[in-house]
Amino acid sequence: MCGIIGYIGKRQAYPILLEGLQRLEYRGYDSAGIATVDDAHGTTTITTHKDKGRVDVLKQYSSVGTMGIGHTRWATHGVPSTVNAHPHLDCSSSIVVTHNGIIENFRELKENLSGHHFRSQTDSEVIAHLIEQHYKGDLHHAVMHIIPMLKGTYGLCVLHKNKRELVVARNGSPIVLGIGSGEQFVASDAAALLPHTKQVIYLDDFETGVVAENGMKIFNKNNQLVTKEIKTVAWDVEMGQKHGYKHFMIKEIHEQAQVVRDSLSIAVDIPLLNQTAEPKVKKLFIVACGTAAYAGLIGKYVIEQVARVPVEFDIASEFRYKNPIIEKGDILLAISQSGETADTLAAVSLAKQKGASTIGIVNVMDSTIARIVDYVIYTRAGPEIGVASTKAFMSQLIVLYKIAEQLSGTALGLEQLPLLVEEVLKKDAAIREIAKKYALVYNFIFIGRNLSYPLALEGALKMKEISYIHAEGYAAGEMKHGPIALVTDDVPCVAIAPRDSVYDKMVSNIEEIRARRGKVIAIASEGDHAIQKYCEDVIFIPRINDVLTPFLAIVPLQLLAYHIADLRNCDIDKPRNLAKSVTVE
């Protein structure tokens, strides 16, 4: 959460920082700010522009200077407002700080700092004042001095008006350094640097750095110089464009047939999961958050059904605090698009501490989770910009199915999927027509059984996060244990009812809803004309083996949520209160 950008070089910093913040906006967008240092006229001054709202609010300003830092915020402490927006200055307006993360002991630190004037309610501002207190002409030294005082997480980028350098530090929140020629960059995500450079260095926890225009130095926590590997970012700037689509989300939904095609070539042959040697895998743990968790839940069902290997599934935020029984010899699979989700990362660290082996299914190269797991499998979704996760889910499913294939030694027929996903995507216009009938409702219910149960959860999540319609996902069999009380003629129900082993049960559940005047939109298998009798609307998907249904049924759920949100004029790629990468707990 929160995006940080920094620039030092010969070009004007403001437009570079502004463009970088636009690329980082998916990390948070309730306020934004830029500070630059103007040293062209003998005296050096810091100019700061910040405002509540989206990064675009900064377009009305400009400032002079070839060094600066910027920030786009997702509020944790202090409401979204101009004063709470970063960057934060010290009392003398000489030091300016951008921070991503949470300083848990900021109140205590603030109380111990006498004579300082605080302007904001944020936890972050205390860092600027602490550095001011301990600055004796060496900015890196002052940062190193105050770091042990901070409890919590931080990605930091700091500058002093009289120093031609950016000082960075990391603990729990990502910091990436971009290498240019006669200019250098700082960001919280390598994708933000793509217009300028693909050569990057990822800071590890407890490392700090001094970035000057002709190079950078990285230090470990003992203040010793370290040599870091320079990595090349695999993505292109092109991949992060909308290409004529109205939103990134709809573009990303339509990319899914290609994502499946690309993902089929992922080699999943994990030594840890080798079932032909001893010890064989006895049990797996899957942890993730949000959409990645629902992919994980489908993974659990498929691995258990196909490979007969037990899988424990947990939402990462629950796993980390429930004192899980996981030990040496166990294997934890962590799924994350961003590779930076704080709870998933903490779950991995906990599993490692307890001696378990860890595997990451991650989309962003060299992200934190990718770097700390014992074995990483990269999904091939490409950059996912829309806050609502779509194509990453598809790619995560492919990897999970490939794991089921490895564990069972059985091929699941994944190669037929790209063409079939394309078929479903052709229903886009028809689904928009259906969406028009439901765009004004206040509540939705999603139901499914077996593999379609996690899809019901995901369908409801998509609907609520982008359209703000209250939506609940249930296992269809649970309806009569409570939720059916919600059914009325203005609470539509989306029933995922392909012709699979639980089809008849689903039809009974649909009938029960109809008997209570509920309107049903069914996702059903082509040729199932019978279901049309019980349902208001039916979206047909091609018939396929039961186990592969989620790949096809997810697409209408995504499209329905998208079109309803679009018809309601929602800000689909940047839904309120959300950020794509949840790097705080």
Interaction of residue 290 with ligand M6R, rule CB under 6 A? yes
Interaction of residue 528 with ligand M6R, rule CB under 6 A? no
Nearer to ligand M6R, 213 or 458 (CB): 458
Among 273, 311, 388, 451, which residue sits at the site for ligand M6R (rule: CB under 6 A)? 388
Q: Please state, in angstroms and rounded to a whole number, the distance separating the CA atoms of residues 34 and 70.
A: 4
Let me know: does 291 contact 389? Beta carbons within 8 Å.
yes
Give strand ranges (E) for 490-573.
493-497, 520-525, 537-541
Interaction of residue 455 with ligand M6R, rule CB under 6 A? no
DSSP string of 219-276, one letter each residue: E-TTS-EE----EE----GGGGS-TT-SSHHHHHHHTHHHHHHHHHT-----GGG-TT
- Minimum CB–partner distance for residue 344 and ligand M6R (Å): 5
Q: Please state, in angstroms and rounded to a whole number, the distance separating the CA atoms of residues 395 and 260.
A: 6
Q: How many residues bind ligand M6R (CB under 6 A)?
A: 16
Among 32, 168, 385, 387, which residue sits at the site for ligand M6R (rule: CB under 6 A)? 387
Interaction of residue 291 with ligand M6R, rule CB under 6 A? yes
Interaction of residue 337 with ligand M6R, rule CB under 6 A? yes
Interaction of residue 465 with ligand M6R, rule CB under 6 A? yes
CA distances to 8, 47, 277 from 132, rounded to whole Å, are: 22, 18, 59
Nearer to ligand M6R, 341 or 525 (CB): 341
Let me know: does 152 contact 104? Beta carbons within 8 Å.
yes
- Minimum CB–partner distance for residue 292 and ligand M6R (Å): 4
Beta carbons within 8 Å of 229's beta carbon, 6+ residues apart: 201
Let me know: does 549 contact 451? Beta carbons within 8 Å.
yes
Q: Find tokens 């005047």 and name the residue.
A: 517
- Minimum CB–partner distance for residue 352 and ligand M6R (Å): 18
Interaction of residue 122 with ligand M6R, rule CB under 6 A? no
Is residue 580 among the annotated active site residues?
yes
Interaction of residue 359 with ligand M6R, rule CB under 6 A? no
Among 36, 368, 389, 583, which residue sits at the site for ligand M6R (rule: CB under 6 A)? 389
Is residue 10 among the annotated active site residues?
no
- Minimum CB–partner distance for residue 191 and ligand M6R (Å): 13
Nearer to ligand M6R, 465 or 528 (CB): 465
Of 462, 519, 574, 580, catalytic: 580
Q: Please state, in angstroms and rounded to a whole number, the distance separating the CA atoms of residues 28 and 579.
A: 5
Interaction of residue 344 with ligand M6R, rule CB under 6 A? yes
Of 2, 289, 493, 570, catalytic: 2
Beta carbons within 8 Å of 481's beta carbon, 6+ residues apart: none
Question: What is the DSSP-derived secondary structure letter of residue 334?
Answer: E
Instruction: Tell me if residue 538 falls in helix, strand or coil.
Output: strand
- Minimum CB–partner distance for residue 450 and ligand M6R (Å): 22
Summarize as ranges the residues that interact with ligand M6R (CB under 6 A): 289-292, 336-338, 341, 344, 387-389, 461, 465, 581-582
Active site residue ranges:
2, 580
